[in-house]
C-alpha cells in the first residue's frame, strides 16, 4: 500500500514539475522579448507613442487569458501550449518599457527578490496542512480593491496612495502564490494524461501571473532605480 501511495505522489510531483517548467519557459520568453523589443524604436513608438497602442496589447492579453482559462479543456494540448507561449510573448512586448524606465541593476534586484518570495510561498502552499481556501475570497477582494484604487489614483496622482497600492499589491500576490499552489495541488491528478497536463498548464499561467505582478509591484517600490 505504501508503494502505491509513493507511486501516486511521485506521479503528481512529476506533473507539478511541468507547472514550474511551463512557468519558467514563459518567464524566460517574456524577459527576452522585453529586452529585445526595448531596443526596437518602431515598436516602442507604437507602445508608448500612441494612446491606443498599449490598450490594444492589454485587451488582446486579457482576451487570451480569458479564452485559455475558459476553453482549455476543449482545446488540444498543443493549441493550449502555443496560446500560452504567444501570451508570454505579448506580455514581453507590453512590459518592454521597464528597460527604459529602470536600470538593469534595479530590474535584477527586483527579479531575485520576487523569485525568493515566490519560491518560499509556493513551497508553503504545496506542503502546508492548513486549508488556505479562506484566503481566496479575501485576496480576490483585495485585488479588486487595488484595481479600483489604481484607477482612482490615475486621476488623483496621490503619492501616498501609490505607495499603499504597491505594498498591498505585493502582499496580495504573495498570498495568491501560496493559495494558487495549494489549489492546483488539489486539482491536479496522479496520472500523466492530457487532462492533467492541461491543468498543469493553466496552473502555470496562474503562477506566472502571480510572479509577474509581484515583480511589477516590487519595481514600483524600488522605483528609485529609475533611469534619469
pLDDT tens digits, the chain, 228 residues: what are they?
A: 333 334 455 666 777 888 999 999 999 999 999 999 998 888 888 777 777 778 888 889 999 999 999 999 999 999 999 999 999 999 999 999 899 889 889 999 999 999 999 999 999 999 999 999 989 889 999 999 999 999 898 888 898 999 999 999 999 999 999 999 999 988 887 677 888 889 999 999 999 999 999 999 999 998 754 554
Report d(CA 126, CA 215) in Å as an integer.
21
Q: Is 102 helix (H, G, I), strand (E, B) or coil?
A: strand
What's this model's pTM, rounded to 2 decimal places? 0.89
| Those residues with Cβ within 8 angstroms of residue 197's Cβ, 6 or more apart along the chain or in another chain | 15, 18, 77
- The pLDDT of residue 3: 38
Amino acid at each position: 500500500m505504501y508503494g502505491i501511495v509513493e507511486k501516486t505522489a511521485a506521479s503528481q510531483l512529476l506533473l507539478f514539475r511541468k507547472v514550474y517548467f511551463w512557468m519558467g519557459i514563459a518567464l524566460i520568453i517574456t524577459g527576452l522579448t522585453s529586452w529585445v523589443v526595448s531596443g526596437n524604436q518602431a515598436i516602442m513608438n507604437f507602445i508608448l507613442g500612441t494612446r491606443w497602442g498599449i490598450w490594444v496589447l492589454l485587451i488582446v492579453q486579457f482576451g487570451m487569458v480569458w479564452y485559455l482559462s475558459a476553453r482549455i479543456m476543449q482545446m488540444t494540448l498543443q493549441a493550449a501550449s502555443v496560446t500560452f507561449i504567444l501570451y508570454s510573448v505579448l506580455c514581453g512586448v507590453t512590459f518592454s518599457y521597464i528597460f527604459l524606465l529602470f536600470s538593469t541593476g534595479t530590474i535584477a534586484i527586483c527579479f531575485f527578490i520576487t523569485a525568493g518570495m515566490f519560491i518560499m510561498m509556493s513551497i508553503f502552499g504545496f506542503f502546508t496542512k492548513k486549508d488556505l481556501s479562506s484566503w481566496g475570497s479575501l485576496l480576490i477582494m483585495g485585488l479588486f480593491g487595488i484595481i479600483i484604487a489604481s484607477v482612482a489614483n490615475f486621476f488623483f496622482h496621490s503619492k501616498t496612495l501609490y505607495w499603499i497600492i504597491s505594498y498591498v499589491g505585493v502582499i496580495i500576490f504573495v498570498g495568491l502564490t501560496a493559495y494558487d499552489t495549494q489549489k492546483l495541488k488539489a486539482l491536479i491528478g496522479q496520472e500523466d494524461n492530457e487532462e492533467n497536463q492541461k491543468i498543469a498548464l493553466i496552473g502555470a499561467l496562474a503562477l506566472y501571473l502571480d510572479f509577474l505582478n509581484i515583480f511589477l509591484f516590487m519595481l514600483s517600490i524600488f522605483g528609485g532605480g529609475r533611469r534619469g
